[in-house]
Amino acid sequence: MVRITRVHTGGGDLGETSLVDGSRVSKSDKRIEIVGNCDEVNALLGIVLMECMRLPDIHSDGRERVGVKDVKRVCAPHLLRLQSELFDLGAELACPIDKIPKYMQLVDKEDSDRLCDEMDNWIEELPPLESFILPTGSGPVAQMHLARTVTRRLERSMVSMKDEIRPLALQYVNRLSDWIFVLTRWVSLTLKEEETLWIPKGRR
């Protein structure tokens, strides 16, 4: 297990930080930007989880809110798993590809394929899209849309260094943004919320 007894070291006071192999790079280095984007996605999923778990189970009149228990039951374990996987990914991304320690646990094909399997299961319950969806909604839904867009930013930053990143890591992140989008739609449906659709200018 990791044991951290001190956070501040002063080592970054001049704008540098260490990669996992101990090499020093600027905090503006492309690899550090990628690691930061991964950390941001993870933090946003934590906010999504918070928003899901604080959804009230009961209406003000005492009636049970439709779908809330199902959203909590599904989202809590899935999001917590994703947060751990993103932590694994962040550690990998903080390593030059040729210096990834043998002991490091990496996201693998099973993790990537699981995202597709879960998406497929949720999609079976969803109505087909007839327009683009605007990124808005209740607390967890709006935050999921934000998490999806930041995941795309993570993917773009990884593509900028794709020759120095495992292809499977990039595949995982590409699928993750789709996964978040599908889960967002499933949460909206389960909570009986109307999705806000884009209306073309000529019809507005």
User: Pick from 78, 66, 70, 50: which is nearest to 193 by CA?
Assistant: 66
Q: How many CA atoms lie within 13 A of 30 on its CB side?
A: 12
Q: How far is CA 106 from the centre of its chain?
A: 16
Residue 1, C-beta contacts closer than 8 angstroms, at least 6 positions apart: none
User: Pick from 69, 81, 82, 55: which is nearest to 140 by CA?
Assistant: 55
Instruction: Give the containing element (helix H, strand E) for 82.
Output: helix 68-93
pLDDT of 13 reads 64
Q: Domain residues of the chain, as ranges?
A: 17-125+135-194
pLDDT band, very low/low/confident/very high, at 60 (cuts 50, 70, 90): confident
Query: What tens digit of pLDDT does each residue of 90-124 get?
Result: 999 999 999 999 999 999 999 999 999 999 999 99
Under a CB-based contact definition with an 8 Å cutoff, are residues 186 and 71 in contact? no
Query: What tens digit of pLDDT does each residue of 143-173 get?
Result: 999 999 999 999 999 999 999 999 999 999 9
Q: How many CB atoms lie within 10 A of CB 71?
A: 22
Angle, CA 38 vertex, CA 104 and CA 193 arms, to 5°? 125
Q: Is the pLDDT score of 15 beyond 80?
A: no
Q: What percentage of the chain exceeds 90 in pLDDT? A: 71
Q: Does CATH number 1.20.1200.10 belong to domain 17-125+135-194?
A: yes
pLDDT band, very low/low/confident/very high, at 5 (cuts 50, 70, 90): low
Which of 24-33, 63-72, 132-141, 142-151 is predicted most confidently? 142-151
pLDDT of 25 reads 74
Query: What tens digit of pLDDT does each residue of 19-56 get?
Result: 777 778 778 789 999 999 999 999 999 999 999 999 99
pLDDT of 21 reads 75
Partners of residue 16 on adjacent β-strands: 26
More confident residue, 75 or 129: 75
User: Pick from 145, 120, 151: which is nearest to 196 by CA?
Assistant: 145
